Structures are given as C-alpha cells and as structure tokens.
A and B are shown apart, each in its own frame.
Chain A
C-alpha cells in the first residue's frame, strides 16, 4: 500500500479572447477498490460563470462549467491524496459494450495481420493480454509528435510509432479481436510531466491495468482519472467556445510519495 500526493494542472492559452466557453472535465480521480482519494480539491481560472458536477455512463465524475465572459486563458488544477490499496486490480462489472470496437479501435488490414501473427496460444485473460502487449511493445517505437488525439489504432500501427494513447488503442483493438472486454484509462503515473494512458482488461470479476507503453502491469504509483471504451469517451478536458482562436496547452503533473 502506498500513500501518494498528486497535483495536476492544464492550462490553455488562447491567441484571442473567447466567449461562451462550455467545458466538461474528467480530471477528478474517484475512489474505487484500488485507489482511495482523500482531501480532493480543484481550482478553475478565470473564476467566472458557473461550475457544477455531472457524471457519464462510464462511471466518471465530471466537472462542468460555462463561462460567457471573454477570456484569453483557461486553467484547471486538481490536487489531493491517494491511497493505492492494490497495485493493479480492482473488482467491478463490465457492460457488453466494452467488447466492441469503436471508430478509434476498429482494426484494419495491419492490425488484423499483426493479430494473426501474434495470436496468443491460450491461457487466462490476463496472460493473453500480457502476451499481446509484449508483442506490441516489440513492434512499436515510442515517438511523440507523429500522431494526434484522433489517430486511430490502425493508423498508428501502420507507421509503427506513437505515444501512450496509440499503444493503448492498438492493445484495445487486439484485445477486442481476442474477445476480451477492455477499456481505456487516463491517469497520472509519473513523478512529473504529462498524463498517461493505459488499458484495463476484464476477466469476469476484476479489472487489471496493463501499461502497453512500458509493457508491464500498472503499479502502485498509478492514479486513474477516468476511463471509457477509448480516448474519445473520456477526454480529461473537452470544451467548446465562440471565437476564432488557436490554443496552446500546457500540462503539468506531480505525484509524490508521502
């Protein structure tokens, strides 16, 4: 069991003022059987308009808001303490939809070919998932800047490069071909830096986290923020505003052991 302290901040700088900004944030980690969150807090700037809470059908907590007034930057910061009870497993249920492909995970020729070559030869859900993760890890090269948030699993495997989101999407695609229920997870995993993405697989009673980017099970320094069938179900920040502005995003996170 580990006690962690976390802090996570995203800042958007707009090139011009924007108005009527509506947003949904899945940035509040929630307690489940694996992580227990204590003393959570958040701060949103500028302080204007209204802020409220909502949920989604995947079980995430949302912080919603609407700011009508002109603003040139937007930031949110969350912080708190997390007790990690189990390094990688959590009990729970899994609706059927986690078995099915989404537009981001739907396999094309390359993924099907890769699956054919690397089909696990049987075993438990977890061992088959780990085998696929291992083959994928050996096939791909981690490289940032070559893919975008809407890059599909098939597109990423075609170029054999990508970031944690791409590794997660490809693994989800392979697992779904294999008939395993699985989901996409966004969270914090490192001492400092950006957010991370990994995968959870369901064996009939419990979800186990697999970090495809590092080819290992997740550990007791991983804090989950949200999950869904793929990235587009659970972006940490999603917003819409009026204004012809470009935005630059900076993300900082810090996880320390207490």
Chain B
C-alpha cells in the first residue's frame, strides 16, 4: 500500500497559511521556517502498532512511577538501582518540587516517545520527551487537509482515524482538573509552536491564555475576564518550560510566567500539564536506566528496546566507549533538539583524541550509543522519490488510563545520509497511518 495523497503542493500552501511553522534560534536570531510536509504517508501495520502500543504504555507507566518516586520516597535511589548522581545532579531535577504530588499522582500526561525502526523491523526507543513534547498537531492538520484532497483514500476504515487526539487530550485535562476550566498557557505568538497551541485550544475547548490573563489569590488560580471578573482554573496545559513557569519559584527574570502558580499547584488547586520537574526523567543519562525502571516498578521485561547505550560514568562502559569511539554516536545529556550529537565515524584522528579526553574528564556529561541503521522512507522531491532517514514520535496520554494515539509524527531528514531528523535541524514531516486491520 503506497498511496501518495493528491495535491501535495496545495496542501503545503494551506499548511503555510495556517501557520504550520517551526521557529529556529540560530546564532542568536529567530527565524521561522515552514515545516515541509511530504504527502507519502508512513504506514504502520496493525500488528506492529499493537506491539508498539503495549511497549509504550509500559514505558510511560514506569516513567510516571519513577517521577513520583524520586520526588517523594526516592526508593529507587535507596535500593541502588539508579545512582543519586543521575537524579539530583540532572538539570531537569527540581528540588523545588520535592514532596509535591500532583493531582491524581500523574506527572507525564502527554509523553512524546521517539522511536526508529531498524532495517530488520525492530523498533528502538531513541528518546523520551516528558516535558512539553510538541508536534501532534502537525499530522492532525495534515490529515485534515489530506481528507479534503483525497477523500476516497480514507473511506472504508482501513486507516485508523486520528481525529480522536483532541478527545484524548481533553479527557486527560478533565481527569486531573482540580475544579474550574482548562486553559492552554502559551508564551505567545512568537513561540515556535504557537500554531499548535491555538489549534489544540480550538479542538479541546480549552481557553488559550497568556500569563497576563492569569493570576493567583489565596492559592487559587484564576483567569481574568473582560468584565473584570474571574474564573477559576483547574488545569493548565502550559506550553512554557519549567524555569519560566513561576518567577517567584524559578527564574526571577521570567516575564512569561504566572507568579504563585506553584503555590496553587502545591495546594492541589490546579493541575499543571505536564508536571514541573519531569526533565529529570527524559534526561539522556536517565534513558539508560528506563529498562531497569520497567523491571523495578512493574516487575516486567521491557517490551520495547533502548538503542544499545553506554554510560562513561561506569568504568567498564567508559573503557568500551574509548576503545570503540569511531563506531558510536556521542550525545551530550544536557542538550536537546538534535544539538550536541556527534558521530565518531565523522571525526578526524585529532578529534577522536580530544573527544576521548573530554569523555574521560566529564564522564557524567555524555552517553554513547551504537548507531542504529534505521530504515529509509520514500520522500517525494521534485517529482522524484528519494530515500531519507525518518523517526517516529508517538504520543502517549496518561489520564484515567494510559493510551497511545494511533498516529504520530514522522519526521525525516531532508539531507541524504543524515541521521538527524529534528525539525529544529530543518527536517520535514509525514502523516503516520496506522492500519486498523491486517
């Protein structure tokens, strides 16, 4: 089943009009780029998806249990499964959130899990994104436009309908809501993902707000209305990062945060989606320990595999990394968005030597992974079809239960031979079709 959707050019024009863009900071300047859409869908079989779904639910459940544990009893540290260094010295760990249990005990409500499929068909987890994973709106709107362009393709229910993302998201917000309305808190028009913020607000019935629309009084979060009245807010799907969330708790210079929102949250009067402090669980250093978490918290074998990963922090792993550097990919644990990723095979002899020194000196700062030769997907380029590397961001929503959205964001590299698919590195995207039966 290889079915290019008709009118690809027109769909891209419409996406541009709707503001489906990506903002990129480079050398201190902000540029908005279109996020190019490729009309050839990625197709995932029902069987493949069902396996992936079980594995993702298991993984996200374990990650949520980990977050709850390390912000309360810290049993996994006391039991020696994860060294405290990897928790407390992580940039994403917020001591300001210790002993603070969010509504219904859920930390990661919306998880964006990045996977790749190796040439032998095995799916590997590349990265967990538990802070503010973006991107679900892109396949959603692309599907909407494709339905208009090629309605026949979607007849007969062969392709799982992905329009339920809005209800999954709304149900998640409603489940943790502490009384009051749902809002989506955006830093504003200039944010790279502003299209997504406004689109989700429209689709879920949440109110799109900026910080100046909100205030806290007596540990209760309110939205101001035009008449000078106030409406209680029970859940905030915030699209601003932890450090800017509350200038009275985190960065004092934040101008996009809501003063005292952390006090309302601590008092249990509002839910914050996703919970502040989640960064500790999607740290690249913690990634290594996720299969161990699955065993520790759930007593199960992990269904989905990590890419083989080495932690130079451990002597044995460091020796292996130094000896095999030219075959490995090195990632800086504190970087995201495809930054801080270097491949040993691209290095000169001098560079290899200086990386060896750096890894020895700062062993906690890096992880090393084997390079997975993941599959190429067909991309339409100037009336031709070319093969490019692609990954998949699956969206997992945790409310009353944990569910995987039967779609996802497929991102591809627009450069031949490049393994970096991040949109912030100039990649494009595809719709992801999950087949509903074999």
Contacts and interface: CB of A to CB of B under 8 A. Distances in A.
Nearest to B215: A66
B218 A24 contact: no
B177 to A, nearest CB: 21
Contact of A57 (B77, B100, B219, B248): B100
Nearest to A24: B248
A23 B216 CA distance: 11
Contact of B217 (A62, A66, A100): A66
A55 B74 CA distance: 21
B386 interface: no
B252 interface: yes
B84 A96 contact: yes
B259 A66 contact: yes
Contacts of B96: 56-57, 233
Interface residues of B, number: 27
A52 B97 contact: no
A100 B216 CA distance: 32
B170 interface: no
A54 B98 contact: no
Interface in A201-255: 229, 233, 238-240
A64 interface: yes
Given A238-B248, A240-B247, A64 B97 contact: no
A52 B88 contact: no
B98 A97 contact: yes
B252 A54 contact: no
Given A24-B248, A50-B217, A64 B263 contact: yes
A62 B98 contact: no
A50 B97 CA distance: 25
A166 B96 CA distance: 22
Contacts of A52: 217-219
Interface in B55-103: 74, 77, 84, 87-89, 93, 95-100
B267 interface: yes
Contacts of A66: 215-217, 259-260
B163 interface: no
A22 interface: yes
B266 interface: yes
Nearest to A55: B266
B88 A97 contact: yes
B95 A229 contact: yes
B66 to A, nearest CB: 15
Nearest to A97: B95
B231 to A, nearest CB: 17
A123 interface: no
A145 interface: no
Interface in A62-86: 62, 64, 66
Given A57-B100, A95-B98, A240 B218 contact: no
Contacts of A96: 74, 77, 84, 87-88
Contacts of B217: 50, 52, 66
A62 B216 contact: no
A54 B267 CA distance: 8
A95 B77 CA distance: 11
B97 A99 contact: no
Contacts of B95: 57-58, 95, 97, 229, 233
Q: Label chain B's interface by main secondary structure.
A: loop
B351 to A, nearest CB: 25
Nearest to B96: A57
A50 B87 contact: no
Nearest to B252: A238
B188 to A, nearest CB: 17
A100 B260 contact: no
Nearest to B74: A96
B248 to A, nearest CB: 5
Query: Which of B74, B84, B87, B260 neighbours the largest number of chain A CB atoms within 10 Å of its CB?
Result: B260
A22 B259 contact: yes
A175 B217 CA distance: 40
A54 B219 contact: yes
Contacts of A100: 88-89
Nearest to A52: B218
Contacts of B93: 97
A244 to B, nearest CB: 13
Nearest to A102: B95
Interface string B356-390: 00000000000000000000000000000000000
B218 A50 contact: yes
Nearest to B217: A50
A22 B98 contact: no
A50 B266 CA distance: 18
Nearest to B100: A57
Query: Which of B88, B97, B248, B267 neighbours the largest number of chain A CB atoms within 10 Å of its CB?
Result: B248
A240 B244 CA distance: 13
Nearest to A242: B212
A221 B281 CA distance: 44
A64 B77 contact: no
Given A57-B98, A97-B98, A229-B95, A240 B259 contact: yes
Contact of A22 (B77, B218, B219, B248): B248
Contacts of B260: 22, 24, 54, 64, 66
B178 to A, nearest CB: 16
A158 B263 CA distance: 38
A56 B267 CA distance: 11
Interface string B204-233: 000000000001111100000000000000
Interface of B: 74, 77, 84, 87-89, 93, 95-100, 215-219, 247-249, 252, 259-260, 263, 266-267
14 contacts: A54-B219, A54-B263, A56-B249, A57-B95, A57-B100, A62-B263, A64-B216, A95-B74, A95-B98, A96-B87, A101-B89, A229-B95, A240-B248, A240-B259
Given A24-B260, A52-B218, A55-B266, 9 more contacts: A22-B216, A54-B219, A54-B266, A56-B96, A58-B95, A64-B216, A96-B74, A96-B88, A238-B252
